[in-house]
Chain A
């Protein structure tokens, strides 16, 4: 196995708030890695560091062997990174289809019919095809979440970063989302997934990492990690029933 993403001694803080504390993490090609941790632990910030919207104070980020620490967010996207946002951020004035096309043409470098076909294919998989011509600003929460996934996939990522994409969905919606993500993973895309809905996460991931106060405190086989003392301590009193689902 070869590494697709390597974070080496990555540190970042905002004044007294430490969001990455000497984080070292390797993600293998084709892996599905889950990330859990309490609110404010620095999970979303880790995605910001990986995708280039946030610059680290120190440490390096390598993507497919290349040092991308100094690369722009746009360059990293074109190299094959895409993410979804915890709080959906569609281009509200563009239609769903146009949102997808931006990712396909700019992120994946496609054009013309090939780009359209690619977007239509993804929209069908994410069950948004019937809303292709809807202005994204008027979508419901579920559809906005689907659009987040659509847009990320349209950029033809090698590495897909999902940030709490299952949060706020009904059980049925969650099941269908898990199926979609499983298909994506099977197609060979490496996935890093931050999620509070642990049973959804455990249905997909090969490995689980735990983050707290910007520190990577544990990483390993999902069941073992869930049963570990660190996780039990962190989750003590919060969302134990959800954890129990796993």
Chain B
């Protein structure tokens, strides 16, 4: 039963990793930018939710309605104000600038909130659970997984069924031609970052309700996000969900064997998959 439990907890945790990964892979897919600050932005969103929910006395899930648009707006401004200027075709400038951003966010959070671990108070959700076949499943992890699936489905819909998604794919395909077709690449990139940070906001709030966080933990989330993207195969959103689940289950089973092996087990499975299938499990068909 313990094993079954570990696997189910791992699957549900995978939803969080998939959300982290989806925002990361969206940005890489559209503008070939590796956002080193992605994990810190998640923690920033968690702190924003903490402040908002304390000031307004609202449940963290309600605060989503506030933090998601705030982060999206921040993403648009960040992209148009700073990141667009780094996209010169060279891979190094965006890496350096987002690394700098990561350091700035961490230090700003440290200054504003101190290094004390914080947690979003999800009230009764924190302990609520249901029992299925002798296994107790927390309502919060279940909700988190359902939201992750909805986020992935939503992104999939935007990407393949809307004008915005077509603009993302056209710019990702060939920026110069997209410009000649009337697309303003700077604006499209801004919208992509806005969407990515909207997903980051959702991920940050669920992360904050599930575990405690402090300003320094963003980097670890970034690694999990990278691993989920790569396990699933670049450019495949459902693959990213599977990647997140595999990573979550690996960590959960590792932790079941020996509590100290949790993170290590995730990395080992990641390396194994990379060794066997260097392009991930479900690489995109074209190119």
* A residues whose Cβ falls under 8 Å from a Cβ of B: 51, 53, 72-74, 77-78, 82-83, 85, 89, 91-94, 98-99, 101-103, 105-109, 111, 135, 137, 151, 155
Contact = CB atoms under 8 A, between A and B. Distances in A.
Interface string B15-40: 00000000000000000000000000
Nearest to B284: A93
Nearest to A151: B181
Contact of B181 (A53, A72, A155): A155
B179 A92 contact: no
Contacts of A108: 182
A137 B286 contact: yes
Contacts of A103: 181-182
A53 B173 contact: no
A150 B174 CA distance: 17
Given A73-B180, A83-B180, 19 more contacts: A53-B176, A72-B179, A72-B184, A74-B179, A74-B185, A77-B180, A77-B181, A89-B174, A91-B169, A92-B174, A92-B286, A93-B169, A93-B173, A93-B286, A94-B169, A99-B170, A103-B181, A103-B182, A155-B181
Interface of B: 163, 166-167, 169-170, 172-174, 176-185, 286-287
B79 to A, nearest CB: 17
A91 B180 contact: no
Contacts of A101: 163, 166
Contact of A102 (B166, B184, B286): B166
B31 to A, nearest CB: 15
Contacts of B183: 74, 102, 106
B176 A102 contact: no
Nearest to A154: B181
Contacts of B172: 93
Contacts of A106: 163, 167, 170, 178, 181-183
A99 B170 CA distance: 8
Contacts of A85: 177
A51 B176 CA distance: 11
Given A101-B163, A137-B286, A94 B181 contact: no
Contacts of B181: 74, 77, 102-103, 106-107, 151, 155
A93 B178 CA distance: 13
Nearest to B176: A53
27 contacts: A53-B176, A53-B179, A72-B184, A73-B176, A73-B179, A74-B184, A77-B179, A78-B182, A89-B174, A91-B178, A92-B173, A92-B174, A92-B286, A92-B287, A93-B169, A93-B172, A94-B173, A98-B166, A99-B170, A102-B167, A106-B163, A106-B170, A106-B181, A106-B183, A107-B181, A108-B182, A155-B181
A20 B286 CA distance: 39
Nearest to A103: B181
A73 B181 CA distance: 8
Contacts of B180: 51, 53, 73-74, 77, 82-83
A107 B184 CA distance: 10
Contacts of B184: 72, 74
B163 A93 contact: no
Contacts of A102: 166-167, 170, 178, 181, 183
Given A77-B181, A91-B169, A105 B286 contact: no
